[in-house]
Amino acid sequence: MNRAGTSNGTAPSTAIADLDWRGGASAAGPLVIRGAHALDPGSGLDRICDLVIRDGRIAEIAESGAGRAPEGAEEIDAAGLHAFPAFFDPHVHLRSPGQEHKEDIETGTRAAAAGGYCGVVAMANTDPVVDDPAHVLALRERAQAEASVPTGFVATVTRGMRGEELTEMAAIRAAGAVGFSDDGLPIASARVMRRALQYQHLVGGTILLHEEDPELSGDGVMNEGPVSAALGLSGVPAVSESVMIARDAALCLYEDATAHVQHLSARVSVEAVETAKAAGAKLTAELTPHHLVLTDEEVRSLDARFKMNPPLRTEDDRQALIEALRRGTVDCIGTDHAPHAIDEKDVPFEIAMMGVTGLETAFAVLYTELVLPGVLDLGLIVERMGAGARLFDLDQPEIAVDAAANVVLVDLEHDWEGGAEGWESRSDNSCFHGRALKSRPMITIVGGEVAFRRRSFSMRVAG
């Protein structure tokens, strides 16, 4: 199950389950999922059927009731549930090492499994930051002991995340990092960014970019606009994000390198990505559920659960993000799951830490706020919630014969309230705390293994 690193920079692995976690296909017994409505826009599947899972793969897709249970198979009565390809999150913060009071690999990946995810990629802005091969190896070892779902790790682009000197990118790739990111901070220097892209071109691995111009962002704590003016809070202008996207797109084109723009938040940023893609830049982009459904109007409450970076923007920005997802300008959805302790958030808005959790609410929020009102198609949401795997040359989860068995069973009729029963995550800083949500993942199957089962859900073992 080791993801063997290579020194020439090519990614040898294409299976999500080959990332580090405590499970593995060899340990999984056979499973039969009976009578779920399977929906996979990638493979074109959209019908009620039985899924037979063996040796970590989908062995058979049969008419409902006709799936032959292998001996000793566990059977899941999934009548009334939907089966989707499980989700993949390219952007989470697991806070290990050094900030385990917020989250750790065990709690963060359990939250991921509960949210329907079969894999996550953890950012490197920990304490200390992950900036050398030894750090990467240590984290991979911990994930093999603790992680509920396959977990990839990135290392920082610059030493100490100081934005000055590059890390040993080739050695870090050889140690098995899936990519590089200084997420939490931008790479302010164009010279350093250019050098990083030159190395990326040589060693592979994805460079994930947190885009903002630190001088334009200044000491802003929310979106710059009428709401920040009314509240008397300092603002971060949207153009702070878009100018850096434009700069890095130009550098990518010049160096023939690839990069991924994280958490797009504004219309001007969508336009910058569109321009870059039209010019041939090898750029991908992501956005978060919270930027898709909330605006800076929420900040009028001065509740720090609505404080994150990039900040919630305007309704016009939100509409541009929705349209960008629909058009394909945005390639994937990532949560930017960013746990914090209560005493880091339950303070005046200006001094509260930036960031919100997201793994356990992502699907339900998008379904409740965008699919049910008819704004976006269910299939589109499912597809973009798995597409983050492609950034790392991993196979996007799919429901097809012989595909790796990464499947989430979702009850679209399930009503619940965000946070009412607590969270699997160690942290409670969800911007959807207290919100009425419809739909919930019930079971998450990863590489043929049940990685999460909601307590209310029963299974039986066939004769």
- Cβ 355 to Zn ion shortest distance, Å: 7
C-beta of residue 117 within 8 angstroms of C-beta of residue 445 = no
Q: What 3-state class would DSSP assign to 352?
A: coil
C-alpha span between 34 and 64 (Å, rounded): 7
Catalytic-role residue among 336, 343, 395, 428: 336
Q: Which is nearer to Zn ion, 17 or 161 (CB)?
A: 161
First-residue to last-residue Cα distance in the chain: 31
Per CB under 5 A, does 182 bind Zn ion? no
Q: What 3-state class would DSSP assign to 43?
A: coil
The 8-class DSSP code of residue 69 comes to: P
- Cβ 110 to Zn ion shortest distance, Å: 19
Paired residues of 31 in beta bridges: 53, 74
- Cβ 269 to Zn ion shortest distance, Å: 13
Binding residue count for Zn ion, defined by CB under 5 A: 3
Residues 249-278 that bind Zn ion (CB under 5 A): none
What phi and psi values does residue 108 have, to the nearest 5 degrees?
-65, -40
C-beta of residue 151 within 8 angstroms of C-beta of residue 120 = yes
- Rounded to the nearest 10°, the torsion over CA 241, 244, 245, 249 is 180
Q: Which is nearer to Zn ion, 261 or 404 (CB)?
A: 261
Q: Which is nearer to Zn ion, 87 or 367 (CB)?
A: 87
Q: What 3-state class would DSSP assign to 460?
A: strand
Residue from 104, 183, 286, 296 in contact with Zn ion (CB under 5 A) = 183
Residue from 40, 336, 383, 411 in contact with Zn ion (CB under 5 A) = 336
Q: Which is nearer to Zn ion, 336 or 449 (CB)?
A: 336
What phi and psi values does residue 262 have, to the nearest 5 degrees?
-85, 160
**Is 336 among the residues known to form the active site?**
yes
- Cβ 116 to Zn ion shortest distance, Å: 20
Q: Which is nearer to Zn ion, 31 or 185 (CB)?
A: 185
- Cβ 240 to Zn ion shortest distance, Å: 13
Q: What 3-state class would DSSP assign to 184?
A: coil
C-alpha span between 310 and 288 (Å, rounded): 10
- Cβ 451 to Zn ion shortest distance, Å: 23
C-alpha span between 59 and 52 (Å, rounded): 6
- Cβ 92 to Zn ion shortest distance, Å: 8
Give burial (CB, 10 Å; 0-12/13-18/19+) of 339.
buried
C-beta of residue 192 within 8 angstroms of C-beta of residue 164 = yes
Query: Count of residues for the chain?
Result: 463
Stretch that binds Zn ion, among 8-16, 27-35, 316-324, 334-342 (CB under 5 A): 334-342
Interaction pattern, residues 204-223, with Zn ion; x per rule: CB under 5 A: ------x-------------
C-alpha span between 205 and 393 (Å, rounded): 9
Residues 41-100 that bind Zn ion (CB under 5 A): none
Ranked by CB distance to Zn ion, the top (closest) residue is 210
Stretch that binds Zn ion, among 38-46, 68-76, 179-187, 361-369 (CB under 5 A): 179-187
Report the catalytic residues: 336
Task: List interacting residues with Zn ion (CB under 5 A).
Answer: 183, 210, 336
